[in-house]
């Protein structure tokens, strides 16, 4: 009897912490700038001295509502803050002020590749500080730890999805889209290296067709899109292996070890009752009226999805080009400015997703780090359309524009790159090429018309790509057919 292998499906839910770009912290006016000297941006409130009182930063509420609206959430008319109990050395109050049962946003969604990923909730909370391990001892590497409280009290939004994500790749795309949206909203810089966007993943597997979920495992320390995808791929395989060997999956928190490409057990997962949530007595509940929500809705910028549709429907871009452009806010801003001055926005899009994107990738640069401007790109496209330069020449001009900047017209003039369309000038070269290649002429005459390609190539070599190909072709045919 042959054994039938059980097929498994994956269930993933994500918790994404986005650090808000406010100037001051969530409950005090200490600054939030990244990379400052340790403990230089602290005060008695964020370091939890007895007797101090938190005051809610209204910008945080505004950013939370904007994010909720962009993610199609209901904005709660009434929400409150709660204390979540922890003991961590980097959390001096031993509590974190968060939102438990009445978060500010609920029931949203994000559509990725025609699939709706539901968002359960978005809540506001304060960040913890950071441990800095120092000294050196044995294999553990450090003999003592220091604490930097600069990050303590920095505002966070936790965006919690429903378990609607069904593959590691889909998880990565979801976080990429989320990052894009908070960057369009300008509420978070989305900088993964600086920890402005952090992600925890809950993942379980179950046999295809089974109703109830498998036991879920939480994975922490996912610091890049690549880490998120790799960790999930590893963890799914690990869980399936365990089940196939007849073992049970333990509900726990696991840590992703990027250098080893594995997850390791960190602790068994806490349940929410372990945190002893209770309402924060020092903050009044938050009431948000319809007017405020309405005003913020008016302030919403054009979001990636709306932009994409406009590019396709109004500007005639291909789905691919529109998608690539909106995926990066820098490219989208650049394209919007170019489209205002370029006669042919579609050509601008082709350059941005083609040669320019390839250059940026190869040189590990962003568009902002080059010398190219929307005006110079539009000018170059104009020169192509007028027939002043060929596409082949434009491929060289664009590199100069990216590296040195300036005007496309000037570069073409200074380097003598204009297309040669002058017939008598080209005709002289055509005659020279024919005279130098009698064997190819014979081939042409015996019916091998394709050698014309060879002749055109010779002229291009001679003129360094500047001869107008149409004119060259015409002249060759004239010359060869009359002989
Ligand atoms: Zn403070």
Q: How far is the CA of 297 from the centre of ligand 1 (A)?
A: 30
Nearest in space to 127 (alpha carbons), one of 51, 14, 67, 41: 41
What does the pLDDT average to over 16-22? Answer: 96
Q: How far is the CA of 154 from the centre of ligand 1 (A)?
A: 9
What does the pLDDT average to over 58-81? Answer: 97
Token readout for 253 is 């928190």
Q: How far is the CA of 43 from the centre of ligand 1 (A)?
A: 4
Count Cα atoms within 13 angstroms, Cβ side, for 256: 26
Q: What is the pLDDT of residue 470?
A: 80
Q: How far is the CA of 57 from the centre of ligand 1 (A)?
A: 12
Distant-in-sequence, close-in-space partners of 221: CB < 8 Å, separation ≥ 6: 227, 255, 256, 258
Q: What is the pLDDT of residue 4?
A: 63
Nearest in space to 217 (alpha carbons), one of 171, 261, 269, 172: 269
Q: How far is the CA of 33 from the centre of ligand 1 (A)?
A: 13
Q: How far is the CA of 41 from the centre of ligand 1 (A)?
A: 7
Q: How far is the CA of 26 from the centre of ligand 1 (A)?
A: 9
What does the pLDDT average to over 470-475? Answer: 84
Distant-in-sequence, close-in-space partners of 55: CB < 8 Å, separation ≥ 6: 27, 28, 45
Q: How far is the CA of 127 from the centre of ligand 1 (A)?
A: 12
The full 3-state SS of the chain, as one line of letters, equals CCCCCCCEEEEEEEEEEEECCCCECCCCCCECCCCCCCCCCCCCCCCCCCCCCCCCCHHHHHHHHHHHHHCCCEECCEECCEEEECCCCCCCCCEEEECCCCCCEEEEEEEECCEEEEEEEEEEEECCCEEEEECCCCCCCCCEEEEECCCCCCEEEEEEECCCECCHHHHHHHHHHHHHHHHHHCCCCCCCCCCCEEEEEEEEEEECCCCCCCCCEEEEEECCHHHHHHHHHHHHHHHHHHHHCCCCCCCEEEEEECCCCEEEEEEECCCHHHHCCEECCCCCCEECCHHHHHHHHHHCCCCHHHHHHHHHHCCCCCHHHHHHHHCCHHHHHHHHHHHHHCCCHHHHHHHHHHHHHHHHHHHCCCHHHCCCCHHHHHHHHHHHHCCCCCHHHHHHHHHHHHHCCCCHHHHHHHCCCCCECCHHHHHHHHHHHHHHCHHHHHHHHCCCHHHHHHHHHHHHHHCCCCECHHHHHHHHHHHHHHC
pLDDT in tens, 143-188: 888 999 999 999 999 999 999 999 999 999 999 999 999 999 999 9
Q: How far is the CA of 87 from the centre of ligand 1 (A)?
A: 20
pLDDT in tens, 47-57: 999 999 999 99
Q: How far is the CA of 222 from the centre of ligand 1 (A)?
A: 28
Q: How far is the CA of 150 from the centre of ligand 1 (A)?
A: 8
What does the pLDDT average to over 82-92? Answer: 89
Average pLDDT of the chain to the nearest whole number: 91
Q: What is the pLDDT of residue 444?
A: 87
Q: How far is the CA of 287 from the centre of ligand 1 (A)?
A: 24
- Give 483 or 155, the one with higher predicted confidence: 155
Q: How far is the CA of 142 from the centre of ligand 1 (A)?
A: 29
pLDDT in tens, 288-311: 999 999 999 999 999 999 999 999
- pLDDT(440) > 80: yes
Q: What is the pLDDT of residue 270?
A: 67
Per-residue pLDDT band at 281 (split at 50, 70, 90): very high
Beta carbons of 398 and 376 less than 8 angstroms apart: no
What does the pLDDT average to over 412-419? Answer: 80
CA gap 467, 461 in Å, rounded:
9
Q: What is the pLDDT of residue 452?
A: 84
Q: What is the pLDDT of residue 139?
A: 63
CA 290 to chain centre: 32
Q: How far is the CA of 102 from the centre of ligand 1 (A)?
A: 25
Q: How far is the CA of 52 from the centre of ligand 1 (A)?
A: 10
Q: How far is the CA of 88 from the centre of ligand 1 (A)?
A: 18
Q: How far is the CA of 28 from the centre of ligand 1 (A)?
A: 5
CA gap 21, 189 in Å, rounded:
7
Q: How far is the CA of 45 from the centre of ligand 1 (A)?
A: 5
CA gap 201, 163 in Å, rounded:
10
Beta carbons of 95 and 125 less than 8 angstroms apart: no
Q: How far is the CA of 15 from the centre of ligand 1 (A)?
A: 26
The β-bridge partners of 15 are 160, 200
CA gap 381, 351 in Å, rounded:
9
What does the pLDDT average to over 270-284? Answer: 85
Token readout for 481 is 């057919």
Q: How far is the CA of 24 from the centre of ligand 1 (A)?
A: 8
Question: How much of the chain exceeds pLDDT 90, in percent?
Answer: 67
- pLDDT(38) > 80: yes
* Range with the poorest average pLDDT among 17-21, 87-91, 201-205, 254-258: 87-91
Q: How far is the CA of 468 from the centre of ligand 1 (A)?
A: 68
Q: What is the pLDDT of residue 3?
A: 59
Distant-in-sequence, close-in-space partners of 116: CB < 8 Å, separation ≥ 6: 109, 110, 164
CA gap 278, 354 in Å, rounded:
55
Pairing of β 130-134 and β 115-126: unpaired
* Range with the poorest average pLDDT among 129-138, 249-258, 277-286, 382-391: 129-138
Q: How far is the CA of 138 from the centre of ligand 1 (A)?
A: 36
Beta carbons of 312 and 324 less than 8 angstroms apart: no
Termini Cα distance of the chain:
81
Distant-in-sequence, close-in-space partners of 28: CB < 8 Å, separation ≥ 6: 43, 45, 46, 54, 55, 153
Q: What is the pLDDT of residue 386?
A: 85
Residues within 5 A (CB) of ion ligand 1: 28, 30, 43, 45-46
Q: What is the pLDDT of residue 1?
A: 45
Q: How far is the CA of 285 from the centre of ligand 1 (A)?
A: 21
What does the pLDDT average to over 77-84? Answer: 96
Per-residue pLDDT band at 426 (split at 50, 70, 90): confident
Q: How far is the CA of 96 from the centre of ligand 1 (A)?
A: 14
Q: How far is the CA of 27 from the centre of ligand 1 (A)?
A: 7
What does the pLDDT average to over 379-396? Answer: 88
Per-residue pLDDT band at 272 (split at 50, 70, 90): low
Give the predicted TM-score (pTM) of the model: 0.84
Q: How far is the CA of 34 from the centre of ligand 1 (A)?
A: 15
- pLDDT(140) > 70: no
Q: How far is the CA of 149 from the centre of ligand 1 (A)?
A: 9
Domain spans of the chain? 8-291, 302-414, 423-482
CA gap 68, 159 in Å, rounded:
9
Beta carbons of 403 and 370 less than 8 angstroms apart: yes
- pLDDT(24) > 50: yes
Q: How far is the CA of 92 from the centre of ligand 1 (A)?
A: 12
Q: How far is the CA of 201 from the centre of ligand 1 (A)?
A: 30
Q: How far is the CA of 46 from the centre of ligand 1 (A)?
A: 4
What is the dotted CATH code of the domain comprising 423-482?
Answer: 1.10.10.410
């Amino acid at each position: 009897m042959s054994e039938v292998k059980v097929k498994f499906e994956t269930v993933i839910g994500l918790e994404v912490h986005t650090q808000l770009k406010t100037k001051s912290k969530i409950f005090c006016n200490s600054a939030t700038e990244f990379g400052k000297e340790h403990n230089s941006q602290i005060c008695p409130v964020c370091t939890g001295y007895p007797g101090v009182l938190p005051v809610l930063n209204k910008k945080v509420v505004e950013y939370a509502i904007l994010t909720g609206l962009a993610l199609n959430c209901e904005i709660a008319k009434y929400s409150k803050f709660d204390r979540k109990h922890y003991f961590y050395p980097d959390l001096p109050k031993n509590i974190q002020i968060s939102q438990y049962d009445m978060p500010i946003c609920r029931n949203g969604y994000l559509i990725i590749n025609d699939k709706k990923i539901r968002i359960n909730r978005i809540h506001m909370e304060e960040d913890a500080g950071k441990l800095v391990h120092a000294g050196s001892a044995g294999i553990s590497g450090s003999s003592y730890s220091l604490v930097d409280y600069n990050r303590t009290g920095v505002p966070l939004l936790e965006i919690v999805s429903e378990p609607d994500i069904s593959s590691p790749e889909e998880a990565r795309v979801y976080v990429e889209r989320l990052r894009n949206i908070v960057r369009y909203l300008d509420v978070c810089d989305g900088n993964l290296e600086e920890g402005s966007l952090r992600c925890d993943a809950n993942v379980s597997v179950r046999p295809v067709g089974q109703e109830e979920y498998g036991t879920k495992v939480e994975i922490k320390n996912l610091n890049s899109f690549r880490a998120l995808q790799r960790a999930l791929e590893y963890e799914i395989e690990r869980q399936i292996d365990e089940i196939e060997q007849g073992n049970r999956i333990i509900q726990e928190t696991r840590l992703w070890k990027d250098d080893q490409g594995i997850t390791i057990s960190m602790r068994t997962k806490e349940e929410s009752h372990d945190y002893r949530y209770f309402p924060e007595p020092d903050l009044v509940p938050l009431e948000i009226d319809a007017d405020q929500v309405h005003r913020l809705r008016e302030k919403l910028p054009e979001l990636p999805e709306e932009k994409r549709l406009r590019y396709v429907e109004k500007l005639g871009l291909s789905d691919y080009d529109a998608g690539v452009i909106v995926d990066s806010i820098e490219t989208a801003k650049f394209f919007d400015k170019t489209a205002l001055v370029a006669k042919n926005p579609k050509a601008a899009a082709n350059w941005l997703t083609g040669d320019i994107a390839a250059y940026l990738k190869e040189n590990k640069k962003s568009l902002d780090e080059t010398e190219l401007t929307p005006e110079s790109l539009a000018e170059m496209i104009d020169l192509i359309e007028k027939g002043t330069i060929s596409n082949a020449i434009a491929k060289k001009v664009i590199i100069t524009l990216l590296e040195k900047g300036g005007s496309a017209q000037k570069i073409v003039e200074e380097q003598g790159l204009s297309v040669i369309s002058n017939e008598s000038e080209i005709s002289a070269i055509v005659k020279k090429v024919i005279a130098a290649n009698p064997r190819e002429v014979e081939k042409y005459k015996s019916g091998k018309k394709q050698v014309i390609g060879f002749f055109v190539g010779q002229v291009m070599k001679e003129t360094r790509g500047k001869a107008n190909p149409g004119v060259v072709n015409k002249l060759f045919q004239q010359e060869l057919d009359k002989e």
